Amino acid sequence: MTLVLIGLVGGLLTGISPCILPVLPVVFLGGASRGVGTASGGVDSDAVPSRARPVLIVVGLTISFSIFTLVGTALLSLLHLPADLIRWAGLVVLVLLGVSMIVPAIGHLVEKPFAWIPQRHVDPDRGGLLLGLALGAVFVPCAGPVLAAITVAGATGDLGPDTIILTLAFAVGCAIPLLVFALAGRQLVARIAAFRRHRRAVQIVSGSVMIALAIGLTFNVTDLIQRTIPNYTEALAGAAGRDASQILSGGANRDDYDDKLLYCQLQANYDVIDGDDCGPAPEFTGIERWLNTPGDEPLSLPRLRGQVVLVDFWAYSCINCQRELPHVEAWANAYASAGLTVVGVHTPEYAFEHVIDNVRAGADRIGVTFPIAIDNDYGTWNAYGNTVWPATYLIDATGRVRYVLYGEGSYTHEEKLIRGLLTEADPDVVLPASVQLPNTTPTDPKQSRETYLGADRMQFYAGDGDYTEGTHDFTDARALPAGGFELSGSWTIGHESLLAGAGARIRLDYHASKVYLNVGGTGTITVTADGRERTIRVSGAPNIYTVASAPDPEHDEVELELSPGLEAYSFTFG
């Protein structure tokens, strides 16, 4: 029931968020427009769409979205097909449906395969299912923790009952607002005689809107709508999180959960650190290699019994991890003699983070000396059911998880928990003085969000160029929206990065005190800000470089010129 509630709430918030706006006209007019043909190829202009048509549209969307989210990526990879094949198929179907509403004879042919029950006439309402299936293929909700968990599970093949339940609940939550709009369109036609008299015109408008949506999605015009309109659901999401936190901490009991680790993770999602007993700690599973252990020999929890163990999930190019890891390193050194062992489970976010030499070099730059488990196949990540970087699991001397903490910043409280578990393991232990390190966690609520540059997860591109995989020349020059970026010069756009060519430049609008670029290769970055230029030398595997810095958070722009051959992955902020 918890997974169902989380999925429904996440889906409902997505279903009323700005990212759904481009789809709403099609859903509304699709529910208002009865099918496009009869057996004779004509149009029944006086007929009102039945209640089934809006429902079929939303049912089709829910089915296709659920299937494509769960198994689409894995299936395309298995068949060695392009990653965006499903999306293109959906766009083609949308155009075909739009044309069929304008040209009834084509509509008859399109909807005929959906007349599953033999009858004299094709029921035009059944075409609503096809429309819903097409929308589900192109509908990409706003990113969020629920959808991220579903997508990671689908991409890694971890499709257990929990993931399926969460996906279906999320899809149903998204579908509820859409169903309201589809039914509203039908009611409008049913009640307003003028619409019924001009039924043919409504169909032509509906078909034109579907074609326009397909064109807009093809050229990423709809992304501009999502970037321009403020996310008015953020406050609702925050309220939902606080309510869920209160329910979990006050209205629910850990004993009600068979999976006690899941309970603690749900608490951690809302910054509620409620420990005592989160169940037995999962063993380190599927580790490819160990670093920073004697002889690079593996560690195991049974061998660490009697020690307090801090398991930290991280990735070396994650800026949040880079701010957190100095604190973890300091605890590892300060409390080793008191019985603390720190294990950093390195689970990659990018493809380059799978390379062990890159991880080793990244750890050296950050100053990580505690044991590192290379979790390239997500074995330990999945064993813990983890979903975020960084994430901390505190395990007591008996091998049970006692606390779960997500993200960065709660260092003082986390150190108190460590000291408490060490004293519990050995009441006579002599603890050193508390570690005193500055907390550099950003607290500005206006801070820009992480900006991915690869085609797969790009959200904030504000230019006019073709942002699809391949080599393109860009000539963007416009006023940037808040948090947006644009390109000029030659760039090769990849799945998760941008490869600089001749004259490659990025211009970024941001709100932060620091701007970091995750970039690799050998070359230079020329940074232009406030009329001044400076040069950053880049060499080696991808790493985070500071490209802008100010004493306090500010709203500004920065322009970067990357020498050919450099590969940029993302902007992060601090």
Most confident of 57-66, 273-282, 489-498: 489-498
CA distances from 530 to 524, 549, 574 (A): 19, 12, 19
What the block records as the tokens of 414 is 């986390």
Buried b (16+ CB within 10 A) or exposed e, 540-562: ebbbbbebbeeeebeeeebbbbb
CA distances from 228 to 19, 373, 449, 481, 530 (A): 11, 42, 15, 7, 25
* pLDDT for the residue 328: 96
571 touches 461 (CB < 8 A): no
Backbone angles phi, psi at 435, to 5 degrees: -70, 135
The whole-number average pLDDT for the span 173-187 is 77
141 touches 135 (CB < 8 A): no
* pLDDT top residue among 250 and 395: 395
Q: How far apart are CA 345 and CA 287, in angstroms?
A: 9
Alpha helices, H only, 192-233: 193-197, 199-218, 221-228
* pLDDT for the residue 462: 87
* pLDDT for the residue 530: 85
The region of weakest confidence among 37-46, 112-121, 327-336 is 37-46
The region of weakest confidence among 33-47, 86-100, 123-137, 443-457 is 33-47
519 touches 562 (CB < 8 A): yes
* pLDDT top residue among 322 and 98: 322
SS (H, E, C) 421-438: HHHHHCCCCCCCCCCCCC
* pLDDT for the residue 146: 53
Percent of the chain with pLDDT over 70: 69
The per-residue pLDDT for range 524-548, each reduced to its tens digit, is: 999 998 889 999 999 888 888 999 9
The per-residue pLDDT for range 345-394, each reduced to its tens digit, is: 999 887 788 889 989 988 998 899 999 999 998 899 989 988 888 999 99
SS (H, E, C) 44-105: CCCCCCCCHHHHHHHHHHHHHHHHHHHHHHHHHHHCCCCCCHHHHHHHHHHHHHHHHHHCHH
Mean pLDDT across the chain: 78
Q: How far apart are CA 145 and CA 282, in angstroms?
A: 22
508 forms beta bridges with 485, 558
* pLDDT for the residue 17: 66
* pLDDT top residue among 62 and 258: 62
The helix (H) or strand (E) run that includes residue 151 is: helix 145-156
What the block records as the tokens of 245 is 């936190």
The per-residue pLDDT for range 116-126, each reduced to its tens digit, is: 444 444 444 55
What's the full length of the chain, in residues?
A: 574
* pLDDT for the residue 138: 64
The per-residue pLDDT for range 273-303, each reduced to its tens digit, is: 656 788 899 999 999 999 999 999 999 999 9
pLDDT of 44 strictly over 50: no
* pLDDT for the residue 565: 95
The region of weakest confidence among 34-43, 50-59, 300-309, 502-511 is 34-43
Backbone angles phi, psi at 307, to 5 degrees: -100, 150
The answer to whether the predicted template modeling score (pTM) of the entire model surpasses 0.75 is no
Q: How many CA atoms lie within 13 A of 504 on its CB side?
A: 21
Percent of the chain with pLDDT over 90: 34
Q: How confident is the model at residue 38 (pLDDT cuts 50, 70, 90)?
A: very low
* pLDDT for the residue 298: 95
The region of weakest confidence among 32-41, 164-173, 197-206 is 32-41
Q: How many CA atoms lie within 13 A of 154 on its CB side?
A: 23
pLDDT of 245 strictly over 60: no
Could you tell me the sign of the dihedral formed by the alpha carbons of 253, 259, 264, 268, in that order? negative
Burial of 64 (0-12, 13-18, 19+ CB in 10 A): buried
568 forms beta bridges with 498, 519
The whole-number average pLDDT for the span 308-314 is 97
The region of weakest confidence among 163-167, 415-419, 437-441, 443-447 is 163-167
The helix (H) or strand (E) run that includes residue 10 is: helix 2-15
CA gyration radius for the chain? 27
Q: How far apart are CA 392 and CA 413, in angstroms?
A: 13
* pLDDT for the residue 243: 47
The region of weakest confidence among 151-155, 163-167, 566-570 is 151-155
* pLDDT top residue among 53 and 120: 53
Greatest CA separation for the chain: 91
> Given the structure tokens 């975020």, which residue do they identify?
388
